[in-house]
Each structure stands twice: as C-alpha cells, then as structure tokens.
Amino acid sequence: MIKLVNLPKIPDDRGNLSFIEEESNIPFKIKRTYWIYDVPGGETRGSHAFKKSKEFIVAISGSFDIILHDGKEETKYSLNRSYYGIYVPKLTWRRLENFSTNSLALILSSTAYNENDYIRDFDEFLTFVK
C-alpha cells in the first residue's frame, strides 16, 4: 500500500540528521539508489509503473509533487521535507512534477535497473493491474 513515512529526525543545534534503514523504515532491501536533480521548471519525470520494483522517494532538498495511481484512483502528495518520504509499491503509476529550483529527489529502489520492469503505457498499466 502507498504510504507516507515519517523518518527519524535527530534535532541538533549543529544541524538535523535523518536516516533510512532497509527493512525497517522501508519494507524492502535497497538494491539501487538514484536521484533526480537540475530539473528545468515545468518538467515532469516518471510517468510509468514498475512490474516488480518497489521504491521509496524523499525530497532531500526543495520540493516536488508525486502523483500516484494504483489502478483505481489517483492521489497527489507534496514532498517538501527531508524527514519524510513516500513508499511506492510495485504496480503503481507514478509521475513527479512541480519541482522547485535546486530540488533533489532521492529514490531508493528494491531492484537493479531493468528496462523490462517498466510499464510505460498507461492503458497497458491499467490492463496489467486488473
């Protein structure tokens, strides 16, 4: 199930600290990490689903919106703090947009990169989840 997850936050006068541990804060083992940055204003990333990959997405810096569709309904989440993120289960159509200047989207994935895991056509996605 799609889930907004509050991460640990260790407040400190020297600067705050947050962390993620696999199979603890997030329900999978991390196989890959990637990040999206330098997104020009108005651009959209994503617009696809994964057959197997589960992901966890954090706005490490700045803000952006993530629009998720589970095959039945669409929900929009705004990520704008580095101490929470969103768990995106497999078979979720996802789109990232409305990136602020200098925003940084950190994405933890349960699988290595594999183009065959992508569903890039929305109608195909709807058929696949049924």
Q: Tell me the catalytic residues.
A: 48
- From the list 4-12, 43-51, 62-70, 78-86, the region that binds ligand TYD by CB under 6 A is 43-51
51 contacts ligand TYD (rule: CB under 6 A): no
Of 10 and 43, nearer to ligand TYD (C-beta) is 43
Closest by CA position to 62, among listed 92, 32, 46, 41: 41
Cross-strand partners of 63:
none
Of 9 and 97, nearer to ligand TYD (C-beta) is 97
19 contacts ligand TYD (rule: CB under 6 A): no
CB atoms within 10 A of CB 108: 23
- Footprint of ligand TYD on this chain (CB under 6 A)? 32, 34, 45-46, 48, 113
